[in-house]
Chain A
Amino acid sequence: DAKTTQPTSMDCAEGRAANLPCNHSTISGNEYVYWYRQIHSQGPQYIIHGLKNNETNEMASLIITEDRKSSTLILPHATLRDTAVYYCIVRPGYTGNQFYFGTGTSLTVIP
């Protein structure tokens, strides 16, 4: 029950910005958009999350459209270590709701 749609795979040149799209057209007003990534065989790593405003941290930026039906995760200067599967997840902000991971986008950063 992922409720999001992401491209299966993407490539990005090393040093360039990686823009990973996510559609969540059925998002509810109380649902946040979260991004996680999983580098091969490791545990998922939290990247960023937001409700309706754009967010930025040391890892990435999150751009959420005004209607909140889609978002884009931006890795400003991709490195080879950013090669991973990236998961976009929508989740209510109140208690008792788990993260449901879909199939994600497999990002390959190319030297």
Chain B
Amino acid sequence: NAGVMQNPRHLVRRRGQEARLRCSPMKGHSHVYWYRQLPEEGLKFMVYLQKENIIDESGMPKERFSAEFPKEGPSILRIQQVVRGDSAAYFCASSPDASYGYTFGSGTRLTVV
């Protein structure tokens, strides 16, 4: 009964490249949430998805960032043309429905060089 799986754990990208972060929710969970934590700062909500639908993207930067949760496969957070300010830990969480608490993954640490 694996928890929320995120990969890769660490990702290094050069400025201008694309970063793809993957999140496989817990079995039976159809709600996925992405959070970002900048160095020495708190967790900031980015986006909430339910299978094939974006429910709330109020925390997503307007440009370069996108997220999807297809019918089959993991949720993907995509960052195009990365900049140094995108360096952060990105956490994914899942829940069986939106009224439950979340289970978080171990995060992906993105470093932009």
**Chain A residues within CB distance 8 Å of chain B:** 34, 38, 41-46, 49, 93-104
Contacts and interface: CB of A to CB of B under 8 A. Distances in A.
Interface string B55-97: 1100100000000000000000000000000000101010001
Interface of B: 4, 33, 35, 42-45, 48, 55-56, 59, 89, 91, 93, 97-99, 101-107
Nearest to B89: A41
Contacts of B97: 95
Interface of B is mostly: strand
> Helix, strand, loop or mixed for chain A's interface?
loop
Contacts of A34: 101
B69 to A, nearest CB: 15
B99 A94 contact: yes
13 contacts: A38-B43, A43-B104, A43-B105, A44-B43, A44-B91, A45-B104, A94-B99, A97-B98, A98-B59, A99-B101, A101-B42, A101-B43, A101-B45
